[in-house]
A and B are shown apart, each in its own frame.
Chain A
Amino acid sequence: MSILIDQNSRIIVQGINGRAGSYFARRMHEYGNNVFGGIAPSYGGGWALEGKVPLFDTVQECVKNTDADTSVIFVPAYSAADACFEAMDAGIQNIICISAGVPIKDTAMIRSRLKHNEAILIGPNAPGVFSPEKAMAGVFPVDFAVEGRLGVISRAGSLTYDVLQTLFENGIGVSTAVGLGEDCMSGTSIVECLDLFEMDAHTDNILIIGQPGDIQEETAATHILESITKPVYAYIAGESIDPAQIIGHTEICMFDPQHNSQKKIEVLAQSGVRIAHRMQEIPGILKSKAG
């Protein structure tokens, strides 16, 4: 088992004709053999991936024909909100938005609408979801991951892939890796992911990959103490960064003075989370389970 996606997931791709969309539709299909359709307005009736994947004009039409439950979105930032609303309206449960540069206002509106549709949004600006040896919905590199019992929750982008490779090289298998996205506001929170892993019978341990900015790790620390029984480990990048060094104003979350990594590490450690201070320390803390 795994969370969010598995071998039975039925994936569709919105924005399948773009550079990233077509590239990753192929990667996903090669991996899980479960990409059932693509959405490309005005190209309906055509095919993608050498006739393996049918194209549809709208998500609704695609869902009607494919019974899809998961959509991976690669459209430009300015139409990401529209694409997410369309997916929700068509009854898609897992909406995975890879698009980067989406305005916060749009993300907030999508999040609000999710509640009415009982849907889940991963992203935007996110790697997506990867359940090794079952399915990949997003932009994860699939070569270095084996199935296992560690659940991975990450707020990072490319750093997530680096960590997965480190886990792989140390023989540590993963049940599901969820990349929530690097934006200051994301569709699904660390807390919501922790609950999913807590309920998953095939996940024994949980690893959080965090970074400066946002209040998610701090909120997660409280939640872990109150509601999570499985052991939680964390690597929070950026603990040496001193936001006071910044010249001028920046909206890059990694220099957010209010939510710096030192503070996040402190509160997580207080909740009994084991901390890796560098990426290479992660396999070590996972293997020393005592205590």
Chain B
Amino acid sequence: MKLHEFQTKAIFRREGIPLPASYLASSPAQAKQAASEIGYPVILKAQSLVSGRGKAGGIRLIRNDEETEKAASDILSIKLRGISIQNILVEKAINVEDELFIAVLYDSGSGNPCFVLSVEGGISLEDKLPLSPLYSHVQDIDPLLGLQAFMVRQACANLRIDPAKWKVIEQIALKLWTVFDKYDATLAEINSMVFDKDGHAIVLDGKLLIDDNSLYRQREFAGFLDPAITSFAQAEARKFDHKLVRLDGNIAVMSNGQGLASSTVDELIRQGLKPAMVLILDPSATISSIYAACQLIQDDPFVEAILVNVFSHLKDCDFIAQGILTANQETNKTLPYVIRLKGTHCEDAKALLYNQQNISLVDDLQDAVKRTKELIES
């Protein structure tokens, strides 16, 4: 899961990374109050998990009270991909000298974390890949060893950074590693770190992605879910360890694997159909968690048909059939289900689903998609 800038900064501050003074505001009046406490000039920053806030006018440098309220209300009216801005971070504006970029993330090639130090600040890591070795240093990290101070000094030396700054860069980089390691991050980014005119280091912006699989031991982040991005349905699906993604079509796909779900979506799109959501079942799903999954799908106003494609050979097919059957009673059997169940013990499961007026049982994916198409078009 991705954290907001203000949430990221709360974690950074807790771990001792130097940041400008800031307050969170959700109205123009609050923004003005915050700005006068911090002292001008300040920066107003729209808090959004969707990228592109800079281009949309969501970051503004403000010098006095008159400008603050107007700018804050402008920012709060911005919509990024349909999602409104709820909060503004009001932050002390810093006079920037040199910019540095520091990140720790997983390298899917080596499978290890890697440390990135770059003298090109200002943009996020995704936008600047591949990194130029002239301006950036990438260091593979053994996760059992962690980032070591010498690795940071090595990076500074390679990038010909003024040795007077090494100590402070080293301290901040090691704190960023602590954040990455302690909070199960998949990406911890400082973008950027600057030296103000007095030579003090300060971090202007940061980004944190937290591993969803770690939430059982990173409990504080459960409260960080943003309802604008994580729909109620997604949040509910998480509770049952299912994974749910929303799209803009009208067919729900329920499957027990990302690969099988991907091939199902392929076939739907080839037939001119569009998925409304994809739900990947928890591998250890029970009858009640499958029932909950069906309810989530049935409650979605955009779903006109449900395509279930499951290949399993534990007792799962039985569970799935029973979960669907119970959930199906609740809609008065109005929403069509097209179900493909495969696997060693699926015959009993299928027997449970025979003779349900709104349930079509099919043997292969092509038939499933064909049947779904007939139902949608009729």
Contacts and interface: CB of A to CB of B under 8 A. Distances in A.
A157 B270 contact: no
Interface residues of B, number: 68
A141 B317 CA distance: 14
A188 B241 CA distance: 25
A255 B243 CA distance: 12
Interface string B301-338: 00000000011111100000000000000000000000
B335 to A, nearest CB: 21
A101 interface: yes
B280 A209 contact: no
Interface string B283-313: 1100000000000000000000000001111
Given A100-B283, A103-B211, A182 B258 contact: yes
B217 A78 contact: yes
A258 B158 CA distance: 29
A254 B262 contact: yes
B2 to A, nearest CB: 5
Contacts of A158: 255-257, 259-260, 310-312
Contact of A20 (B241, B261, B314): B314
A93 interface: no
B216 to A, nearest CB: 6
B344 A159 contact: no
B231 interface: yes
Interface in B166-210: 181, 184, 186, 209
Contacts of A219: 109
Interface in B243-262: 243, 245-248, 255-262
Given A105-B143, A108-B112, A246 B262 contact: no
A139 B144 CA distance: 30
Q: Which of B50, B82, B143, B312 has the most CB of A within 10 A?
A: B143
Interface in A156-210: 156-162, 165, 182, 184-185, 189, 209
A211 B280 CA distance: 14
Given A215-B109, A247-B246, A105 B257 contact: no
A216 B211 CA distance: 20
Interface in A1-35: 19-20, 23-24
A78 B234 CA distance: 23
A109 B265 CA distance: 34
A47 to B, nearest CB: 23
B193 to A, nearest CB: 24
Please indicate which of the listed interface residues A77, A78, A125, A157 has the most CB atoms of chain B within 10 Å of its own CB. A157
Contact of A105 (B214, B270, B278): B214
A249 B263 contact: no
B2 A125 contact: no
B113 A108 contact: yes
Given A158-B311, A162-B342, A249-B1, A104 B211 contact: yes
A147 B286 CA distance: 34
A117 B311 CA distance: 35
Most buried by B among A104, A112, A215, A253: A104
Contact of B263 (A23, A113, A238): A238
Interface of B: 1-2, 49-50, 81-83, 106, 108-109, 111-113, 126, 142-144, 181, 184, 186, 209, 211-214, 216-217, 228-231, 234, 241, 243, 245-248, 255-263, 265-267, 269-270, 278, 280, 282-284, 310-315, 342-344, 365-366
Given A125-B283, A141-B344, A241-B266, 8 more contacts: A77-B216, A103-B213, A112-B142, A237-B259, A238-B263, A246-B245, A247-B231, A280-B366
Closest 9 CB pairs of A and B: A156-B259, A238-B262, A159-B259, A157-B257, A158-B257, A237-B262, A240-B269, A103-B214, A248-B229
20 contacts: A20-B284, A24-B314, A103-B214, A104-B184, A105-B184, A112-B142, A141-B344, A158-B255, A161-B311, A161-B313, A182-B259, A189-B111, A211-B258, A214-B108, A219-B109, A245-B247, A246-B247, A248-B49, A248-B231, A278-B267
